Each structure stands twice: as structure tokens, then as C-alpha cells.
Amino acid sequence: MQQLKVFNTLSRQKEIFTPLHPPYVGMYVCGPTVYNYVHLGNCRTFTSFDIIFRYLKHLGYQVRYVRNITDVGHLENDADEGEDKIAKKAKLENLEPMEIVQKYTLDFRYVMQVMNNLPPSIEPSATGHIVEQIAMTKKLLEKGFAYEAGGSIYFDVSKYNETYAAEYGKLSGRVIEELISGSRDLDGQGEKHSPEDFALWKKASKEHIMRWDSPWGEGFPGWHLECSVMSNKYLGSQFDIHGGGMDLKFPHHECEIAQSKGTYGVEPVKYWLHANMLTVNGTKMSKSLGNSILPQELFTGKHDLLEQAYSPMTLRFAMLQTHYRSTMDISNDALKAAQKSYKRVMNGLRTIKELTYSEHVDIPKETKQKEEIEKIVQEMYDGMNDDFNTAVSLAALLKLLKKINAIHNGVTPIQSIDQATFDLMRKTYISFVEEIFGLREENETNLADVMNVFLEIYKEAKHNKNFEQVDKLRSHFKSLGVVVKDMKTKVDWSYEE
């Protein structure tokens, strides 16, 4: 089996994944700023890293996955100006800032749960680490990488570039001239020595609600500082993977590198991974365009662009069909196709779990069948080992599903493969569907148990030639999204595809 390779944004190439301290892996992903409901783009990012988390664990790594909650410091623009997003929302909703944080953190966790994303090992919040953020700011001041201006503390990018050979901008590929020309003329920009400098600690205005005491007076931490502090606290000054959305490369992740390296003198992250954006009908999501869809709207079908409701697992399956570094497009056609394929895969899961192997001396083993199954299994792992390419692995899984259905339907005798090959097929299919891809049955109740009871009634009605009851039961099954199959030796059921 080939080695796992990951695309490192920093080097702009795929690299063999070699953890700093195997078998341990440290992974940090920038979490949400909890001032509003989580949107589908957020779901895409966090589901992508959930699958990465799952696969690393599947390979036997002991992963500490840290995903933060930003509950202070994220201002309305990236130039360290404007109102705190949470404080602004608190005023609009006539709530305390921490009520806003609680409300939207609960929403975020609920959406992550219904999407079947595993909880991170640690989920720290920015407000829970104010002391550590002040401490890092002090260190940067002591080392000459920061300066005080007007009661605020700013990171000195030019000093950093003098020390580390003009490294600022290496992640995003931007140069200082571009950064300066892209800076807007905003209130407070005059405090900075240079437009590309960024805030570590901001002086709180009289109107600013969220504020803490510091050696420089009352203020609040800059948005970028929290991630440097929390990743260091829980993963150390150097760790394996840092992830987030593509939109965070600059300025957020660029600033994180500068802060962390300025403080500890070492490269903080070995592999930078970024998930790409999500579009709707080929257009970037935007409130002004009216194509911004919330998960709750997707799950209920309550949006003008949606023809029907789509379940969380349908959305997850659609995400699996696109590599995390590629743009993913949401449309009714794409979601309907994903819904159909998801049901096929779950039917296959139930089928393979029910299949049992038994020898038959009169049926010869087919070397071709064995080789084809082994090749498909290899393709599934090769896809995941090629920078977590779920699209390739999923395509191979559907090929394995055809093999499973051929055995189930009697087209291929189960005895034509040996026990070891059957076990490999069964174990791989179940592992990928449940453990790696994170797919699960939609129904909270155990539909299999309910269907077994209904099928007994169905078989009895059919045996007694009570065709009216048979038709009623079939109609009821259809309303549940279930199809009854009258086979030669038994009555079976599957999800309607």
C-alpha cells in the first residue's frame, strides 16, 4: 500500500506524511466565529477535516484534534478595525455577548452532530485563554517583534522580515507591496508603523463591550493571536497539521505563522491543509445574491433555490464526491444524485452485514474475482492516501458495491471467492462507509427491526392471498422510502433509490 501523501499549502506540493512524533499526530483546525448560524461553507470545511481526522485514526495514529471557538476579537474587517462581530450581533438581538456565543455555539455543535462529525479532542475558546494571549503579547514585545501605539499592541512585520528573511507572505504567496496596496485607509491605521502590521491586543473604546485588564490598559485580543496561543498550549510549539478554509490563508494563517515563529523561533506547523470554497449553482454563496443557504434550510427544503429537503447524510455524501481542495458546487441535480447514491451505499452496507460465508465443495474458486476485489480495495486506500481524495475512494467503493450486490443476488456464487477475500471485502466496505466516510442511517429508530416486524405481516398477508393488505403494506413501505423485493427464497427490502 502506498504511503499517505498530503498537499502542503506552504510548499505547494504533495509530501509524504511523516508525523513529528509518531504514532502521535497533532492537528489544529480554525473553528467558527460564533456570531451567526453556521453556513454550508463552514460545514464543508469541518466535514473535510472530520474525514481527515477519521482516516488518520483508521491508519492507527493517535490524533489530538483541537478545534477552537472564536468568541472574541474577530472584528468586522481584516485590517484590525470595526466592531467585534459578536458584540455587534449582541446589540442587534438585544442580548449579552456571551448569550450570543452560547446560542450560536449550540447551533454549531448541533449541525456538527447531525452531520455525524466527530467532536474534536479539545474545543477551547478564545475568552478562556486571555491570560495566555497577554503572555504571548508580552513575549513578542520583549523580543522586539511588537510595539505599543495608542494603547494597542501591533506585530511588527518589517522587524519579523528582517529576522526571518522576508518570510511574511510565504503561505499565501503575497508580497509586502501587495499587502500594503491592499490595505484600506481606516480609522486607527495611523497608529501602525506600517499598513501590513496587525493587532495583537487592541485598546477598547468606551463603547466596546468585551474588554479585559492588561498591562496596557483595558482591551481585547486580536483575532489571530488566539489560534497561536491555543495551538501552542495543546499541541506544542511545533505540531503536524493546521487546517482551515482557503479564505483563512491570508491574513489569518499568515499572521499565525509570524506570531508563533516570532515567539518560539521555530516553524510552528509541518503541514498546512486548506479546504476549498462551496458554490451554489456555480456561483459563490452571498447573502446579497440570495443564494446563501443555511444547513437548517437545506434539511427542511425551506429556501427558494431548493426543490425539496435534503438530509444531512445526503449533504455529507455530496461532499465526499468532491476532493476537499476542489470547489464544491451545490445544486438540486447534484443533491438528488447524491441522495440516490447514498441510499445505494447504505443498502449495500445492510446487505454485506447480513451476508454470511459458507463453503461449497462443488463451486470452484475464481482467481479473477479474488484479484478484482483486492484491486478495488487497493484503489480505495490509494485514493485516501493521495491527499485524502474521497472522490476516488468513493468511486472504488461503488465498484465494490457491485461485487457485493452480484453475490447477494446470486449472480456470483459467494463460494467463488475464498473466506479471506470475502472477509476483506466485508471489512473494507464497512470500515470505509461507517468509520472513514462517517455515513450512517438517517432514521433515529432502528428501521431494520421495524421492517422485520412489517415483513412478517407482509409475508403472512401474501401467503393468505390478502392482496388488499399486501398493496396497503407496499404503499406504507413506499412512504418510508423503502422498496420490498419478492425474491425466490425470501422477501427482502432496501431503501428506494
Q: Has 227 been labeled as part of a binding site?
A: yes
Dihedral angle, C-alpha 66, 67, 70, 73, nearest 10 °: 50
Q: How many residues does the chain have?
A: 497
pLDDT of 450 higher than 50: yes
Residue 23, preceding peptide bond in cis (omega within 30° of 0): yes
Query: CB within 8 A of 200, min separation 6: which ones?
Result: 133, 136, 137, 140, 146, 153, 154, 155, 221, 222, 224, 225, 259
Beta strands in 184-252 (DSSP E): 198-203, 219-221, 239-245
Question: Residue 432 has what DSSP assignment?
Answer: I
At residue 470, the pLDDT reads: 77
Encode pLDDT of 303-338 as tens digits. 999 999 999 999 999 999 999 999 999 999 999 999
43 is in an annotated binding site: no
In the CATH scheme, what is the code of domain 5-275? 3.40.50.620
Q: What percent of the chain has pLDDT over 90?
A: 71
Q: Which segment of 152-161, 241-250, 457-466 scores lowest on mean pLDDT?
A: 457-466
User: Can you give the pLDDT at residue 449?
Assistant: 60
| pLDDT reported for residue 185 | 37
Question: Among 5-14, 28-37, 205-214, which is the least confidently predicted range?
Answer: 205-214
Residues 6+ apart with CB under 8 A from 136: 200, 225, 228, 229, 232, 259, 263
Cell of 488: 425466490
pLDDT value at 460 more than 80: no
Spell out the domain ranges in the chain.
Answer: 5-275, 280-436, 447-495
Residue 488 in this model has a pLDDT that exceeds 70: no
Checking if the pLDDT of 184 tops 50, the result is no
Instruction: Name the more confident of 200 and 291.
Output: 200
270 annotated as a binding-site residue: no
User: Residue 153: helix, strand or coil by DSSP?
Assistant: strand
Contact in structure between 481 and 495 (CB atoms under 8 Å): yes
Examine the pLDDT at 19 and tell me if it is beyond 70.
yes
252 is in an annotated binding site: yes
Q: pTM of the prediction?
A: 0.87
Which position has the higher pLDDT, 100 or 239?
239
Between the alpha carbon of residue 113 and those of residues 49, 117, 473, the distances in Å are 14, 6, 33
Question: What CA–CA distance (Å, rounded) separates 367 from 5?
Answer: 31
**Which pLDDT band, with edges at 50, 70 and 90, does 95 fall under?**
confident
Mean pLDDT, the chain, rounded, equals 90
Strand partners, 274: 244
Q: Where are the beta strands (DSSP E) in 328-449?
A: 328-330
Task: Report the distance separating Cα 182 and Cα 177, nearest Å.
Answer: 9
- Judge contact between 267 and 275, C-beta under 8 A: no
Task: Give tens-digit pLDDT for 385-402.
Answer: 999 999 999 999 999 999
**Cβ contact 150:191 at 8 Å:** yes
**What distance in Å separates the CA atoms of residue 437 and residue 491, rounded to the nearest whole number?**
30
Q: 280-436 — its CATH code?
A: 1.10.730.10
pLDDT value for 12: 98
Say if CB 420 and CB 40 are below 8 A apart: no
Calculate mean pLDDT across residues 459-487.
75
Name which residue leads in pLDDT, 436 or 92.
Answer: 436
Under the banding of pLDDT at 50, 70 and 90, the label for residue 288 is confident
Quick one: pLDDT at residue 73?
56
